[in-house]
Amino acid sequence: MRRLVREGMAQQPRQLPAWLLYDAEGSRLFEAICEQPEYGLTRTETALLEAREPELAAALGEGVLVEFGAGNARKVGPLLEALQPPAYVALDISADHLQQSCVALQARHPAVPVLGICCDYSALRQLPEHPLLSGQRRLGFYPGSSIGNFSPEEAEALLLQLGQLLGPGARLLIGIDQPKAVARLEAAYNDAAGVSAAFARNLLIRLNRDLAGSFNPDAFAYSARWQAEHSRIAMALVSREAQTVQLAGEAWSFAVGEPLITEYSVKYDPVAFLALAARAGWRGAGRWSDPADDLSLHLLVT
């Protein structure tokens, strides 16, 4: 973490890995973002999963269901009902959150063995040896458009790696948020209640705690802007003044107006996404979309 933070702070513009946003408080704030009226992604995708549950389950077929970045693991419910897989494996970076989600899910689906693995799935080269996983085909579930929080190059590398992690006969059901009206996109990442801003500022609070930082969160303004040339929302904390902060044993100076990028959220049109997936060895075998075509679920096969 110290090394990654130093590397990110030395970049121009400064940018920290998005997974750092998800400490216990960050995970709680992200759940609150999903409830905001401006942020429709979670509601729309959940409704799509519920509406298309039988078709999605039939397309996925049999195997252990592995969810990447499971969070509160609420979206997987309809699939577990329809698939009744031999096991469900949830991967997430936030240990407490993962444990609570797995306990709650196991209570709701007593017939499906649930296994939680606390990890940064983007850095995982293989799944650990476990009786629930051995000899079973693996079906990946990666909802929420979280792949959009990686750059397109990273996303391609990640899809390649997920294919290796899932192994022979792998299938992956992945959610992708699509480009839409700029006003809607910017509002989704800058909600009126200020939860998105609090989520970003929580990163500074976390860095103060975990890496002996001296950030004053109020000395940074939150900004979320659509960058059409990259088809992405750029989220940043912008220094309100010239200031120097201590972090990870070093002093870092910010000019007035200098941004610290907390996260990008890339939006893919389906054709561009399938081209990217193809470069990582996946083929599109199905696409489901909501009535407004705001986002889509893709079934990828190897």
* CA 118 vs CA 92, 101, 128, 236: distances in Å: 5, 12, 11, 27
**Candidate list 27, 146, 178, 223; residue touching ligand AVI; CB under 6 A:** 146
Alpha-carbon span 256 to 210, nearest angstrom: 26
Q: 221 burial class (0-12, 13-18, 19+ CB within 10 angstroms)?
A: middle
Q: In the range 33-52, which residues lie near ligand AVI by CB under 6 A?
A: 33, 41
Residue 144 found at the interface with ligand AVI (CB under 6 A): yes
DSSP string, 148-214: GGS-HHHHHHHHHHHHHHH-TT-EEEEEEE----HHHHHHHTS-TTSHHHHHHHHHHHHHHHHS---
Q: Candidates 48-56, 146-154, 240-248, 280-288 — which segment interacts with ligand AVI by CB under 6 A?
A: 146-154
Q: Report if residue 152 touches ligand AVI, rule: CB under 6 A.
A: no
Q: Would you state the structure tokens that stand for residue 21, as one six-digit string?
A: 């946003």
Determine which residue in the list 15, 27, 145, 296 makes contact with ligand AVI, applying CB under 6 A: 145
Binding marks (x or -) toward ligand AVI, 250..289, rule CB under 6 A? -------------x-x------------------------
Q: For residues 123 and 285, which CB has a smaller minimum distance to ligand AVI in the complex? A: 123
Residue nearest to ligand AVI (CB): 265
Site for ligand AVI in 66-125 (CB under 6 A): none
Q: Closest by alpha carbon to 116, among 139, 93, 137?
A: 93
Q: How far is the CB of 28 from ligand AVI (least distance, A)?
A: 13
Q: Which residues bind ligand AVI (CB under 6 A)?
A: 33, 41, 144-146, 148-149, 189, 196, 199, 263, 265
